Amino acid sequence: MEITFHGHHSPMSPRLQRRAREGVAKLAKRLGHPVDATIRFEEDGPTRRVEIMLHAPRRKAIIADAGGRYAGSALTEALERLRAQVNQVRRKRLARRTGHA
């Protein structure tokens, strides 16, 4: 899976990139065959924002974003929101498979 990082007026430390890469890769495995992900870091004054866009075949892109005072906390919140969406997709897929739709 290819992961692309974008920084908009925001420095990205290697540690922050590694956390983002590992978190997205872990969640992408739960979806099946992910194609790619884009992680965008933005900084506007005292506010940091992280947006994660995950693409998988035959699915709409899953987008999660969060903001906060620090990039690390915004990343944690965005990963949590992405996890919730991935779990929802998995539940729907399981319900269709078992006939509980």
Q: Quote the pLDDT of residue 90.
A: 84
Would you state the pLDDT for residue 100?
Answer: 66
Alpha-carbon span 36 to 56, nearest angstrom: 7
In tens, the pLDDT along 18-72 reads 999 999 999 988 887 778 999 999 999 999 999 999 998 888 899 999 999 999 9
Q: Which domains does the chain have, with CATH numbers?
A: 2-98 (3.30.160.100)
pLDDT for 5: 95
Q: Where are the beta strands (DSSP E) in 23-93?
A: 36-44, 47-55, 62-68
Distance between CA atoms of residues 92 and 32, nearest Å: 14
5 touches 39 (CB < 8 A) = yes
Q: What is the pLDDT of residues 69-91, one digit of tens each?
A: 999 999 999 999 999 999 998 88
Residue 48 DSSP label: E
